[in-house]
Structure 1
Amino acid sequence: MFSDLDQQLAATLTHRAGSDIDPAPIVERARQRGRRIRVRRRALIAGGTAAACVALAAVVTVIPLGRNPDQANLPPAAIMLPDASGQLGAIARPEEVGADPGVLHFSTDSLVSGAEYATWHAGRGTESVEFRGPTGQARFVLARSVATLNGLQQTLSSAGQPRPPADVRVGARPGVGWFDPSGDRKLWFVRWQPADGLWAQLEIYATTLDDATDTASRVRFDGASRCVVPFRLESLPPGGRLLECSVTLGRSERGSFAEGSLVVGDESGRWLTVRAQRAPVSEGRPGDLVAGRYQVRRQGSDVLEMVVKPCVVEAFLKGWGKGFTEAEGLVVLGGYRPARDLDRPDTW
């Protein structure tokens, strides 16, 4: 089995090492960063303070490494998701992995407990967590096929020169591991099958392959948690349904919630992303569009923005969306309903 995997990995790594760079996601991230800077600038003019903003799990997450001056030493539970009562883990239900945007079928509590920020994701074929803290950074991804893992966008920095894979064992299961240089560090990849029909991958900055493999062995697949955000979308276009959930939680004096996103799509392949970011916001200039009870304004031609204190809420029609019209985006935003407490994920 793993001789075939070695060949697949070698082909994939060779292809990635020599491929051209797609500028589209880089440009999109730069535009989004520019929008966040404008929001912070307006807040400073109004006498507010700058806020930490975290990107969607499918895009590079920008979170400061090391301890921040405003670190409030919230307990590890502040960045954990609530348990999914009655749900089984990935070992018992491998076919459900990545299919339900509201559930993650694994547990990384022992890995994430020392982190300052964690971004959780579920839906569209994968489940993952990416976390950062004083001791480093890592991402774990669970999927139902090796092809899905091969298609992942790399979010941790490396030199883009992956070394050939070597055989490893994660617990009692066989797998492969390889590294990619990253300055004076090595970014290790460990890939294995926790059970038939499941594929797992850990990406972590570590000293040796043994260190990375030992960390991978601490992931558990016998429990489940809920992917939750502090808002609901009660008005979807005809045929629309939730495809993906992503939430970033942090141990900051500003509170545990940093950012949450839901992806809405339909059977025709259209989709859009609604993102709420915690930020000190002023009223700003009023919007000239209406979405239910909210005033909305355009950010360029592909983003709708509104303020629902203490968050800035955006609907992405392009880049993080495809095919939905502005009118349909306004319908979705009109059904935005915030939670009462941004720092109680168990109540979302």
Structure 2
Amino acid sequence: MFSDLDEQLASTLKHRAGGDVDPTPFVQHARIRGRRLRLRRRALIAGGVAAACAALTSVVLVLPGGRTTDDPIAPASALMLPEARGAATVRPEEVGADPATVHFSPGALVSGAEYATWRAGRGIESVEFRGRSGQARFVLARTEVLLDELQQTLSSAGRPQPRSDVRVGDRPGVAWFDPSGDRQLWFVRWQPVDGLWAQLDTYAPTRDEATGTAGRVRFDGAHRCVVPFRLESVPPGGRLLECSVTFGRSARGTFVEGALVVGDASGRWLTVRAQPAPAGGARAGDLTAGPYRARRQGSDVLDMTVEPFVVEAFRKGWGDGYTEAEGLTILGGYRPVGDPSRPDTW
């Protein structure tokens, strides 16, 4: 195996062929190379010791803002939203009307999940769980049309099979599946109460297992859709349309991202999203957004750093119709709330 030392030897010998060879550069290079090898060997030994120590100790949970704890990686319950006060039977007119409230509990869907994304507003409420053991999405809507308009989020072969009648608990419904490799993506749709529609998308080996999982979703309580911030400066006529938040169970912390959608009666809307800020300090900005400094990210996105989060306002793609000036006004009303590591304080 040739090295840079071999190449230097050959080059120098060729250059000084027939004359005396000065060994000084060779010895100097060998010393440098030897020093690098010793440092590399020490690093490998240190890494092995660290790995052994890590195997003997509990995993340290790194929370947003850099705070750590000796607790193990978050349990599955950390993927749940805080409970809302006053559990009551869900009423159709309430579903998707209040972006701060989710009117169901997902039951067994949380088992084995590593991430959960909750949404509420604009006529629907939903949760999507993702993990190594599988994925599932549950949606509650005021009309069946809203379910038909949903974009499919779980992968399949794109060959949905004919529907068949099923029962979810004591309620009638329909189920169909779409092949997905060695498993099947099942869709179960039913009305948990008159005037309200529900759909579960889940991977399951049989129709009975899919409908059984759907039957474990509960509608006798409510949860709060929460994010660690508020928007206190919305243009005239604007209001909160939707809330979404993603939790994870990784050692980096349970909060992955949160977003609020604001809009008005004319159809304009804009999304503000917050995520944990990457290491390396705040991003410089040349625009003013209330007490903050913001910057352009392309032509359609504004962003700023308000520790411990990066905050973005999407004017297009995840928005439509708001001007840059209005986007800066909305960002200027951004206010952090609660402890970033405790959703119950948001």
Q: Which residue of 2 aligns with 1:11?
A: none
Matched, 1:160 2:158: yes
User: Unaligned 5+ residue runs, structure 1?
Assistant: 1-50, 52-70
What is the correspondence of 1:36-51 to structure 2 with a 5 Å cutoff? none
Higher mean displacement: 307-316 or 274-283: 274-283
Deviates more, 1:165-174 or 1:284-293: 284-293
Name the counterpart of 1:79: 79
Which position in structure 2 is the counterpart of 1:30? none
| 1:175-194 pair list within 5 angstroms | 175-194=173-192
Give aligned-pair identity as a percent. 73
Aligned positions of 1:1-348 closer than 5 A: 72-86=72-86, 88-90=88-90, 93-283=91-281, 286-348=284-346
- Displacement of 1:279 in angstroms is 3.6
Question: CA–CA distance in 2 between the matches of 1:310 and 1:325?
Answer: 27
Which residue of structure 1 lines up, in the alignment, with residue 25 of structure 2?
none
**Aligned in 2, Cα 1:333/1:281: closer, same or farther, shift over 3 Å?**
farther
Report the CA distance between 1:310 and its aligned residue: 2.2
Please state how far the C-alpha of 1:76 moved relative to its aligned partner: 2.4
Moved over 4 A (4+): none
* Alpha-carbon distance between aligned partners in 2 of 1:259 and 1:109, rounded to the nearest angstrom: 23
Shift of 1:72: 4.5
- Aligned alpha-carbon RMSD (Å): 1.6
C-alpha change, 1:102 and 1:284, in structure 2 (3 Å) is closer
The structural deviation recorded for 1:113 is 4.1
String of CA shifts for 1:155-178, please: whole Å, max 9, x gaps: 111121111101111000111000
- 1:285 positional shift: 5.0
Specify the code of the residue in structure 1 equivalent to 2:79: I
Looking at structure 2, the residues matched to 262 and 206 of structure 1 have their Cα atoms a distance apart, in angstroms, of 33
Higher relative contact order, chain-length normalized (CA < 8 Å, sep 6+): 1
Give the SS at the match of 2:254.
Answer: strand
**Secondary structure in 1 matching 2:145:** helix
SS of 1:255's equivalent in the other structure is: coil
Q: 1:177 to 1:248 in 2, by over 3 A?
A: same
Q: CA deviation at 1:134?
A: 3.1
Aligned residues: 277
Q: Tell me the SS of whatever aligns to 1:179.
A: strand
Distance of 2:106 and 2:220 partners within structure 1: 11
Secondary structure at the aligned position of 1:149 is classed as helix
SS at 1:190 equivalent: strand
Contact 1:281 1:311 in 2 (8 A): no
For the 8 Å contact 2:120–2:243, the answer to whether it is kept is yes
After superposition, the Cα gap between the structure-2 partners of 1:77 and 1:279, relative to the gap in structure 1 and judged at 3 Å, is same
Tell me which amino acid in the other structure corresponds to 1:74: A
**1:81-110 CA distance string (max 9 Å, x none):** 1111135342xx111101110000111133
- CA–CA separation in structure 1 for the residues paired with 2:190 and 2:344: 32
Distance 1:103 1:295 in 2: 32
| AA matched with 2:156 | S
Q: Tell whether the 8 Å contact from 1:72 to 1:251 is kept in structure 2 after alignment.
A: no
Shift of 1:116: 1.3
- 1:328-348 per-position Cα deviation (integer Å, ceiling 9, x unaligned): 000110011112411211100
Q: Which amino acid aligns with 1:287?
A: G
| Cα distance in 2 between the residues matched to 1:96 and 1:316 | 28
The separation in 1 between residues aligned to 2:245 and 2:162, in whole angstroms, is 34
| 1:201 aligned partner, one-letter code | Q
Contact 2:166-2:175 at 8 Å conserved across structures? yes
In the alignment, what sits opposite 1:31?
Answer: none
1:281 touches 1:307 (CA, 8 Å); kept in 2?
no
Task: Report the 3-state secondary structure (helix = DSSP H, G, I; strand = E; otherwise coil) of the residue aligned with 1:317.
Answer: strand
Compute the TM-score of the two structures, normalised by the length of structure 2: 0.77
Give the whole-Å Cα distance in 1 for the aligned partners of 2:242 and 2:195: 21
> What per-residue deviation string (whole Å, max 9, x for no partner) do you get for residues 276-311 of structure 1?
112424336521101011111111111001112222
Q: Is this contact kept in 1: 2:228–2:337, CA < 8 A?
A: yes
* SS of the residue 1:127 aligns to: strand
Which is higher, the Rg of structure 1 or of structure 2? 2
CA distance in 2, matches of 1:223, 1:114: 22
